[in-house]
Amino acid sequence: MPFTSYDFWAYLSAGFLLLFAADYVAGTEVFARSSWTLVQGIVLVSGAYALGQIVASAAALLLERGLVEQLLGAPRNVLFGRPRAWRWVRRLLPGYFRGLPDEVRQSILSRGRALGIDSPGEALFWAAFQHARTTPVVMARLDNFLNLYGFCRNTALVALVDGALLCGAYRWGEHPITTLYWGWAAFLLAGGMVLRYLKFYRHYAVEVFTSFAYAPAPAPAPAPAPHETAKG
């Protein structure tokens, strides 16, 4: 496989989902072929991968920087009791806004102060992530969460676009009523994928911080050897 697992789940899957809906709406029936040449397959996979990259950039801008960073509050802040969302939004999404236990927060902040970081935020997150990089088991879990939240984030945006394409094709085209139903289903899928994205995005930050909180304390530096006295 020339692609990593993140390439497959975050880029290829999103690109293919968007291409499939566009092919159905346009009536080109590219995906209805019973056989493919090697060149056609390479072109299709390459196109889906490139389109998935564009989708990922748009999803990061709209969902990660827009919805999460600006409206809800990033997990690195929410976990320390610093959300940005209105109170009714926090009641609607209690799982996302649940903070870390006080003891865990204090342990993380104490370790942060030892590194010159006095408050929660991006600097503390990157300090904790730097520690996570030294632990293979933690990095394996982080890679899994990265694949999951990347897939959910990009799929949410693709489902939203697909829903608009399908509903528009029924409204202004000659597609059957089932096209409208598929459009509604795509909108429901988009909402569900946003919720799953928020869950796995939070889990990613929780894993980073808890591994930092419960890491073994660094061993004390050895005492300097006593100097030998000169013999007269």
Could you tell me which residues come within 8 angstroms of residue 84 by beta carbon, excluding any fewer than 6 positions away? 70, 71, 72, 73, 77
Listed by start position, the domains of the chain span 5-213
For the purposes of burial, counting CB atoms within 10 Å of the CB of 78, is it exposed (0-12), middle (13-18) or buried (19 or more)? buried
What per-residue confidence (pLDDT) applies to 224?
53
What per-residue confidence (pLDDT) applies to 188?
97
What SS3 string covers the chain? Answer: CCCCHHHHHHHHHHHHHHHHHHHHHHCCCHHHCCCCCHHHHHHHHHHHHHHHHHHHHHHHHHHHHHHHHHHHCCHHHHCCCCCCCCHHHHHHCCCCCCCCCHHHHHHHHHHHHHCCCCCCCHHHHHHHHHHHCCCHHHHHHHHHHHHHHHHHHHHHHHHHHHHHHHHHHHHHCCCCHHHHHHHHHHHHHHHHHHHHHHHHHHHHHHHHHHHHHCCCCCCCCCCCCCCCCCCC
pTM of the shown model: 0.88
What per-residue confidence (pLDDT) applies to 229?
40
What per-residue confidence (pLDDT) applies to 32?
80
What per-residue confidence (pLDDT) applies to 226?
52
Please list the pLDDT of the chain residue by residue as tens digits (232 residues).
Answer: 567 888 888 899 999 999 999 999 998 888 888 788 888 888 999 999 999 999 999 999 999 999 999 999 999 999 999 999 999 999 999 999 999 999 999 999 999 999 999 999 999 999 999 999 999 999 999 999 999 999 999 999 999 999 999 999 998 988 999 999 999 999 999 999 999 999 999 999 999 999 999 876 554 445 455 554 444 3
What per-residue confidence (pLDDT) applies to 216?
67
What per-residue confidence (pLDDT) applies to 8?
86
What per-residue confidence (pLDDT) applies to 1?
57
**Are the CB atoms for 64 and 153 separated by under 8 Å?**
yes
